[in-house]
Structure 1
């Protein structure tokens, strides 16, 4: 493979251009590392998407350090495992700040993130959320003051995207199954709001705690209410419990939802009962264009394994590059939380990422990098996630920009 077409060369082209503009500063800087915090569920029930998140982050850091990091200073990851538990996450967040990280990438669980946001906000340490999608996370603080950024698709755009698809298909009698975590609570509100925009109300709402394994009685109630589709909002094995319950009671209606329906807990846990499930996606692991093929090739080369939960890995990878592009906009080399916040709000160069083409992804008025036009509908088929519509596969040839 030629240097021009090597996956790493493609991924680093823009970064190299920025680095080339700062040679004198680079020579003047000490070789001390830039500490970047990482926090997520790397063990426990949510590790099926926490692990690929970390792998995507590490892949990007290796690439960036290979070309000099920030002005000759390598990125150094300081990693904390939140185990998908709010109290553990809070302790980890406090420890990252105490360790002197200049920014942090992290959180996969909305409820875990919610408990820790104030730690980063009060310490003026920018947090980029590459995984958790609960709408309230980037709405807690006024945008101009907020140190909380995100490059995952918030549920306020995922829920309407899926609901619009349901209406188009004629599935308008919706039963919502949402867990009682912060993620389920926020997602339920977003689905209800999306339905209301079409003058619709759910025909049934079921709430359940994490860990539930049998929802057959609740599914029978939804069936008796006349539902013709189940919209599930949970992140773990409970999605599979819903699918398996539908199978067990012989209720052949579709299951739809946000991105957790692409997780192994669902696909492997429900097997044939998962077939045909539909979900919002920002990235599907198919080499639909050059940069996505490059990322998939680099991931396989580094980790030597199949990529599970591709969205988590790709968004983690992109988050590191967004952080680095922001750093390279700080031309005097003086790094602090406030200067990095301002730099993230004013990233000087387009980053041609895996999930999106990031042109001004953040501002002092908007801390969410992804918009609805970047979503596609995924479908479980033969135990994997692919495009639900041929037109989405064609549209995916062009990486979308923020609208």
Structure 2
């Protein structure tokens, strides 16, 4: 009799455990937590964790708690593919927030698309990430500026605003560098221009001094460098060693903490990069997020504020999609719901008002970007008026 009671109790406990598990919203999370991209991958994780913790503190979704199921892709495409399959096929998470490196993301996209599983990309900016599949059919969404938008922003700044026409491009031989070179070249071509010099290099390169001298010999007015953090550090140090000061521009990896730690403030001084968010104490909502982030992460300096803030906003946008589906996490229903988030959400990066549509899976447009500049080891707004504009609502402009 006692054995039977124990068996019944065990069955009941298993049933309760299964029910609790079913009630939990399980979010896959993939980022480079080790390796050369770990600084912004770790920031992305902390941002997502903070969002999940805060959602759970107020009861989750209608009493259903959120759980982050974390995997490290190590910045390696094959590892990224393996953990994507694990999360979607074995762990059966409800949706996934992930990817910082474009090459890693591209290797895994088919896993999510074939499973009709929503992937929200908070960091990877390669244009191909959201264009591999037609938007109406795609389960891939992004809360980060795509590189074709970054390229337009940078070329507009250099050629249209500053009237410089001789542009040199430095690009690594990853999917990120390939895509950046393609986007930049296309933007220059729209202005009947070509790069005056192009430098290609592999990850792990130790010096680009010769390439910097070649850019100077080509009489470049400006350099645009498309690569990740460690190689950005090599590039700015090589520019300094080459003894010239050609204005240096880059997308967001130039802003990473690891670049400052490796290259030093003097090599970075005056270099410029595209940003969606810059630390500004005048913005109370943003200042509050940064304070909460530091308390959660317990690190002296954020590896990448953009990665942290965009991941935080990505989780919260998925929560809002669940309000549209009334809690249903079926992939097709979440996909449709993301195009129907019409109630404004005040995120950390910006105010999101209908960030996506059936035909547009990008949350950012060019008017939502800023030009940042390194000054004495800190990132500031290059244009003082942008510090004021950052406090305004920045809605997507019509395509």
Answer whether TM exceeds 0.5 for this pair.
yes
| Aligned partner of 2:31 among 19, 29, 40 | 40
In structure 1, runs of 5+ residues without a counterpart are 1-27
Other-structure match for 2:298: 304
Other-structure match for 1:215: 208
Other-structure match for 1:353: 347
Q: Whole-Å Cα distance in 2 between the matches of residues 196 and 291 of structure 1?
A: 40
Q: Whole-Å Cα distance in 2 between the matches of residues 30 and 85 of structure 1?
A: 31
Establish whether residue 324 from structure 1 lines up as the match of residue 319 from structure 2.
Answer: yes
TM alignment of 1:280-299, pairs within 5 A: 280-299=274-293
**Contact kept in structure 1, 2:229 and 2:254, CA below 8 Å:** no
Other-structure match for 1:83: 74
Q: Whole-Å Cα distance in 2 between the matches of residues 267 and 170 of structure 1?
A: 29
**Contact kept in structure 2, 1:134 and 1:183, CA below 8 Å:** yes
Other-structure match for 1:96: 87
**Contact kept in structure 2, 1:31 and 1:73, CA below 8 Å:** no
Q: Whole-Å Cα distance in 1 between the matches of residues 88 and 173 of structure 2?
A: 29
**Contact kept in structure 1, 2:258 and 2:303, CA below 8 Å:** no
| Aligned partner of 1:225 among 218, 221, 237 | 218
TM alignment of 1:121-140, pairs within 5 A: 121-140=113-132
**Contact kept in structure 2, 1:243 and 1:270, CA below 8 Å:** yes
1:238 positional shift: 1.3
Partner SS for 2:325:
coil
1:341 positional shift: 1.1
**Contact kept in structure 1, 2:207 and 2:234, CA below 8 Å:** yes
**Contact kept in structure 2, 1:315 and 1:355, CA below 8 Å:** yes
Partner SS for 1:329:
helix
Change (3 A) 1:29 1:112: closer
**Contact kept in structure 2, 1:355 and 1:399, CA below 8 Å:** no
1:348 positional shift: 4.3
Other-structure match for 1:379: 373
Partner SS for 1:211:
coil
Q: Which runs of 4+ in 1 moved over 3 A?
A: 28-31
Other-structure match for 1:149: 141
- Segment of structure 1 superposing worse, 182-191 or 279-288: 279-288
Q: Whole-Å Cα distance in 2 between the matches of residues 176 and 278 of structure 1?
A: 14
1:80 positional shift: 0.6
* C-alpha distance after superposition, 1:309-344 (max 9, x if no partner): 10000000000000001001122x433111111111
In structure 2, runs of 5+ residues without a counterpart are 1-18
Partner SS for 2:386:
helix
**Contact kept in structure 1, 2:47 and 2:308, CA below 8 Å:** yes
Other-structure match for 1:366: 360
Other-structure match for 1:240: 233
Cα RMSD between the aligned structures? Answer: 1.5
1:236 positional shift: 2.5
TM alignment of 1:22-41, pairs within 5 A: 32-41=23-32
Other-structure match for 1:119: 111
Change (3 A) 1:334 1:214: closer
TM-score, normalised via structure 2 length = 0.91
Q: Whole-Å Cα distance in 2 between the matches of residues 266 and 302 of structure 1?
A: 23
Partner SS for 2:141:
strand
| Aligned partner of 2:394 among 397, 400, 403 | 400
**Contact kept in structure 2, 1:30 and 1:73, CA below 8 Å:** no
Q: Whole-Å Cα distance in 2 between the matches of residues 64 and 100 of structure 1?
A: 21
Other-structure match for 2:335: 341
Other-structure match for 1:58: 49
Q: Whole-Å Cα distance in 1 between the matches of residues 385 and 231 of structure 2?
A: 31
Other-structure match for 1:25: none
Bigger radius of gyration = 2
Q: Whole-Å Cα distance in 1 between the matches of residues 217 and 20 of structure 2?
A: 68
TM-score, normalised via structure 1 length = 0.90
Q: Whole-Å Cα distance in 1 between the matches of residues 285 and 124 of structure 2?
A: 24
Q: Whole-Å Cα distance in 1 between the matches of residues 237 and 297 of structure 2?
A: 32
Q: Whole-Å Cα distance in 1 between the matches of residues 63 and 292 of structure 2?
A: 23
- Segment of structure 1 superposing worse, 173-182 or 279-288: 279-288
Other-structure match for 2:7: none
